[in-house]
């Protein structure tokens, strides 16, 4: 039998309880509150699988393994060199309890490794790794995420994250909730269906340069507007594709990061905020949790070259841009974003990866990465990345 050091964390701190406390950090907004006291942490290597509509032959471990191998090769690190390993995934996608534990078969956790998991998008696993690195006793962390949305009915699965008494019995799935949100936005102010179609056209166009994207190509805005309604006011192209995929990153602190790569993507600020679970008490046309996270992460304190926003539905990109105060000069979703590929549980981490890649290759100096979780943009994470 293989022994595994496995922890499951609901909050980032469940994983670090019991270890020696180096600093006291608040769960959110640590960067803003502690300022200079925080350790510099950077993304130093990334890897991702191609986004596919359906991985018909490979299981999750077989998808993940080559991604992990490529990642460690990019950073020239063995698993023995990694101080902390953490994953973000959801067992409901696979329909198998403890699927997140079997995923460790792709890592090689022997001798036993220091390891944790969040039942969330990989972006929140990255947050836990960042917090863990603040403890100062380790210098590297590996974050991975995987998700096959194709085996089950992803719309039904995601419905189960709603309040079980009043909402789930009506089965309002993510597309229905997004349609309600889009309708509220269209009726609230100057946003039009054309604005939504423009988001789609730009996303598909950008995705042409992304070898891993699923939906790409030149589409005409007027042509998009002639498409039939799918769930009014959403047309099919306003919704994300169903995607299987995996992604992973390595984080390193201080000089270790400079040792691994010439141009690390430094995490200058990172924060996540959540809104109430009940949809009825939220203003769906706004995203106050994104705004707050963006403020704490420091989005507005410098020029933003690139922003990767996890907006699974076209109108949500408009809400997020406003909440983060991103002007026309910002290159939004150069990867094509979630409208081009949306592996649930992976897509948020992918936004961080795509933003970091542009810092690491020198094409951007300052980038914003955003991830979302929960129904209709309930929970949001924002990170600011910079080159040196």
Partner 1 sequence: MPERGEGTIVERPLRLDYDYTAGLAQSRFLKGIAQKKILGERCPKCGKVYVGSRGSCPTDGVATDGGEVDLPHKGTLTTFCVVNVPFAGQSVECPYASGYILLDGADIPLMGLIQEIPHDQVRMGLRVEAVWEDEVGPTLQSIKYWKPTGEPDADYETYKMHL
CB of 57 to partner 1, least distance (A): 6
Among 8, 21, 73, 95, binds partner 1 (CB under 8 A): 95
| Gap between the Cα atoms of 329 and 312, Å rounded | 22
CB of 376 to partner 1, least distance (A): 21
Among 35, 164, 280, 329, binds partner 1 (CB under 8 A): 164
80 binds partner 1 (CB under 8 A): no
The strand order across the sheet containing 306-308 reads 115-118, 84-88, 140-148, 244-253, 41-48, 265-274, 379-386, 366-373, 306-308, 331-332
Polymer length of the chain:
388
CB of 108 to partner 1, least distance (A): 2
If the CB atoms of residues 89 and 134 are measured against partner 1, the closer one turns out to be 89
251 binds partner 1 (CB under 8 A): no
CB of 143 to partner 1, least distance (A): 16
Asked if 371 contacts 343 with a C-beta cutoff of 8 angstroms, the reply is no
Token reading at 105: 């078969």
Among 43, 52, 106, 257, binds partner 1 (CB under 8 A): 106
What are the backbone dihedrals phi and psi of residue 386, each rounded to the nearest 5 degrees, phi first? -140, 150
Q: Which of residues 165-224 bind partner 1 (CB under 8 A)?
A: 165, 168-169
161 binds partner 1 (CB under 8 A): no
Token reading at 125: 């696993």
CB of 79 to partner 1, least distance (A): 7
Among 38, 43, 157, 307, binds partner 1 (CB under 8 A): 157
Residue 21, number of CB atoms within 10 A of its CB: 10
Strands 234-235 and 229-231: antiparallel
Among 43, 104, 318, 352, binds partner 1 (CB under 8 A): 104
Helix axes 288-297, 314-324, angle to 10 degrees: 50
If the CB atoms of residues 106 and 360 are measured against partner 1, the closer one turns out to be 106
Among 156, 222, 223, 388, binds partner 1 (CB under 8 A): 156
283 binds partner 1 (CB under 8 A): no
**292-328 burial, b if ≥16 CB within 10 A, otherwise e?**
bbbbbbbbeeeebbbbbbbbbbbbbbbbbbbbbebee
| Gap between the Cα atoms of 117 and 121, Å rounded | 10
73 binds partner 1 (CB under 8 A): no
Interacting residues with partner 1 (CB under 8 A): 1-2, 55-59, 61-62, 65, 68-69, 79, 92, 94-95, 102, 104-110, 148, 150-153, 156-157, 160, 164-165, 168-169
């Amino acid at each position: 039998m293989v022994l595994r050091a496995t922890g499951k964390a609901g909050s980032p701190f469940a994983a670090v309880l019991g270890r020696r406390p180096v600093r006291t950090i608040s769960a959110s907004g640590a960067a803003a509150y502690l300022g200079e006291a925080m350790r510099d942490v950077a993304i130093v290597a990334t890897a991702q699988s191609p986004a596919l509509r359906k991985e018909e032959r490979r299981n999750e471990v077989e998808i993940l393994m080559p991604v992990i191998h490529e990642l460690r090769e990019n950073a020239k690190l063995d698993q023995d060199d990694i101080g902390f390993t953490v994953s973000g995934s959801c067992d409901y996608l696979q329909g198998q309890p403890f699927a997140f534990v079997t995923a460790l078969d792709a890592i090689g956790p022997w001798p036993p490794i220091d390891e944790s998991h969040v039942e969330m998008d990989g972006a929140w696993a990255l947050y836990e790794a960042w917090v863990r690195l603040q403890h100062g006793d380790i210098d590297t962390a590996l974050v991975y995420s995987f998700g096959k949305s194709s085996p089950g009915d992803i719309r039904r699965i995601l419905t189960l994250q709603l309040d079980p008494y009043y909402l789930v019995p009506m089965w309002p799935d993510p597309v229905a909730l997004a349609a309600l949100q889009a309708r509220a936005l269209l009726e609230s102010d100057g946003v039009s269906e054309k604005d939504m179609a423009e988001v789609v056209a730009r996303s598909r166009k950008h995705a042409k340069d992304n070898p891993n994207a699923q939906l790409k190509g030149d589409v005409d805005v007027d042509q998009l507007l002639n498409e039939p309604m799918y769930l009014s006011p959403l047309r099919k192209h306003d919704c994300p594709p169903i995607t299987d995929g995996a992604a992973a990153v390595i984080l390193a602190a201080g000089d270790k990061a400079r040792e691994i790569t010439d141009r690390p993507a430094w995490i200058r600020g990172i924060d996540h905020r959540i809104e109430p679970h009940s949809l009825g008490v939220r203003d769906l046309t706004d995203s106050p949790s994104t705004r707050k996270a963006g403020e704490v992460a420091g989005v507005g304190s410098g020029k933003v070259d690139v922003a990767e926003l996890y907006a699974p539905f076209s109108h949500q990109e408009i809400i997020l841009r406003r909440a983060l105060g991103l002007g026309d000069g910002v290159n939004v979703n150069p990867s094509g974003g979630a409208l081009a590929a949306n592996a649930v549980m992976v897509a948020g981490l992918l936004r961080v990866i795509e933003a970091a890649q542009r810092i690491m290759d020198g094409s951007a100096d300052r980038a914003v990465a955003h991830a979302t979780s929960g129904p209709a943009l309930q929970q949001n994470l924002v990170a600011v990345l910079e080159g040196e």
